Amino acid sequence: MERLRPSATALFLMIMFQFYLSIKVGGIGVNYGMLGDNLPPPSQVIALLKSRGVTGVRLFHPNLDALRALQGAGIQVILGTLNQDLQGLASNPSFATNWVQTNVIPFSQTVQFSCISAGNEVIPGELAEYVLPAMVNLKAALRSAGLGQTPVSTSVSTKIIADSFPPSHGKFSPEVSSIMRSITAFLAADGSPLLVNVYPYFAYISNPQQISLSYALFTSPEAVIVDGGLEYDNLFDAITDTVYSALEKAGGETVEIIVSESGWPSAGNGDIATVENAQTYNNNLIAHVSEGCGTPKRPCKRLETYIFAMFNENLKPQGTEQHFGLFFPNMTEVYHVQSN
Ligand SMILES: *[C@@H]1O[C@H](CO)[C@@H](O)[C@H](O)[C@H]1NC(C)=O
């Protein structure tokens, strides 16, 4: 059937189109939070992620059912430790070895771990001092298991930043600067990224007089701030670059950022947390990150980003916290996002 054989040109176009598609969805992940008593089993959740072309997932803590479901799924994984495990991980190398042997090694052939995260948003705080020693012990445990190439980091909120405007002024706050300087040195030496939770929503609601909703939702038609030679038309880039500025001032010029969380709630706060705004934010976020254009300070550098979150979680605090999900627990969409 000679006529059915595609021409070389058609074949080339088909390959390029598939290449384009995979580029387009690459770099977008979703946070799989599990603080709900009505969520579907992990196997169904991972199947849903796969069907939507999602290329990354973040687990806040190990869940063996989820990890089993991720085997061979082609979805890269940020795996966190429980905050309550930080002290043990920090003070006891064999705790870290056990953690890696239980949660990483059994899956290391079939799951791509893009990062292991020692804790979530514990800096500043009473657990902050344990983060770096936990990272060191986790790295050593991975290395002795032959997995030394797996990055180890921690996930921080922008509470660690003082002087967040304009982005070039960003620096670590005095309270955290010593800890963040040490963590930055570890990340730089190890070639590992810093995981940052970037929420234009919270910045906007804390200062709606001075921040426009369009700047927060990626809908501003023009630059809103000019900082040195750099122009910002969206708050997401501005916040991310503020953290880049802080890293640079702490000796972390080479440290990359992964946005471990970003999102917008669809209910729980009047006419700001609406389905329409959440849908606008997340679709624009995906489009922005998928362009692969990075931020003004790191142009042409794909910014790996994880949307918060997969589900509305009914065991989180009342209010907006329960309404960040892209999906209801019954796996129907809260609103549609264009992930593929
Ligand atoms: C799924 O849950 C949402 C929220 O509770 C509800 O509005 C919707 O009707 C449900 N859909 C199905 C198919 O059960």
Q: Which of 121, 256, 304, 313 is catalytic?
A: 121
Mean per-residue pLDDT for 308-320?
98
| pLDDT score, position 15 | 42
What tens digit of pLDDT does each residue of 170-220 get? Answer: 999 999 999 999 999 999 999 999 999 999 999 999 999 999 999 999 999
Residue bearing the CA closest to ligand 1, atom 8? 332
Residue 328 near ligand 1, beta carbon < 6 Å? yes
Ligand 1 centroid – CA 239 distance (Å)? 35
Q: Which strand (E) or helix (H) includes residue 187?
A: helix 177-190
Residue bearing the CA closest to ligand 1, atom 5? 328
> Is residue 121 among the annotated active site residues?
yes
Q: Of 198, 96, 111, 107, which Cα lies nearest the Cα of 152?
A: 96
Side-chain-side CA neighbours of residue 210 (13 Å): 6
Residues contacting residue 143 through CB under 8 Å, at least 6 positions apart: none
Residue 206 near ligand 1, beta carbon < 6 Å? no
Residues contacting residue 84 through CB under 8 Å, at least 6 positions apart: none
What tens digit of pLDDT does each residue of 278-296 get? Answer: 999 999 999 999 998 899 9
Ligand 1 centroid – CA 46 distance (Å)? 20
> Is residue 129 among the annotated active site residues?
no
For every residue of 135-171, DSSP letters joined together read HHHHHHHHHHTT-TTS-EEEEEEGGGEE--SSGGG-E
Ligand 1 centroid – CA 73 distance (Å)? 27
What percent of the chain is modeled with pLDDT above 90? 89
> What's the pLDDT band for 26 if we cut at 50, 70, 90?
low
| pLDDT score, position 293 | 87
* DSSP-derived 3-state class of residue 34: coil
| pLDDT score, position 39 | 98
| pLDDT score, position 186 | 98
- Whole-model pTM above 0.95? no
Residue 210 near ligand 1, beta carbon < 6 Å? no
Residue 12 near ligand 1, beta carbon < 6 Å? no
What tens digit of pLDDT does each residue of 82-125 get? Answer: 999 999 999 999 999 999 999 999 999 999 999 999 999 999 99
| pLDDT score, position 25 | 44
Ligand 1 centroid – CA 329 distance (Å)? 8
Q: What is the DSSP letter of 124?
A: S
Q: Name the phi and psi angles at 325, rounded to 5.
A: -70, 150
For every residue of 58-117, DSSP letters joined together read EESS--HHHHHHHTTS--EEEEEPPGGGHHHHHH-HHHHHHHHHHHTGGGTTTS-EEEEE
Ligand 1 centroid – CA 288 distance (Å)? 30
Sign of CA dihedral 122, 192, 196, 255: positive
| pLDDT score, position 339 | 73
Q: Name the phi and psi angles at 204, rounded to 5.
A: -65, -50
**Across 19-23, 50-54, 137-141, which has the greatest mean pLDDT?**
137-141
Pairing mode, if any, of strands 298-299 and 294-295? antiparallel
For every residue of 222-274, DSSP letters joined together read S-SEEETTEEES-HHHHHHHHHHHHHHHTT-TT--EEEEEE---SSSBTTTB-
Atom of ligand 1 nearest to the CA of 330: 1
Residue bearing the CA closest to ligand 1, atom 3? 328
Residue 27 has pLDDT above 80, yes or no: no
Residue 332 near ligand 1, beta carbon < 6 Å? yes
Residue located via tokens 């190990």 = 62
| pLDDT score, position 60 | 98
Residue 38 near ligand 1, beta carbon < 6 Å? no
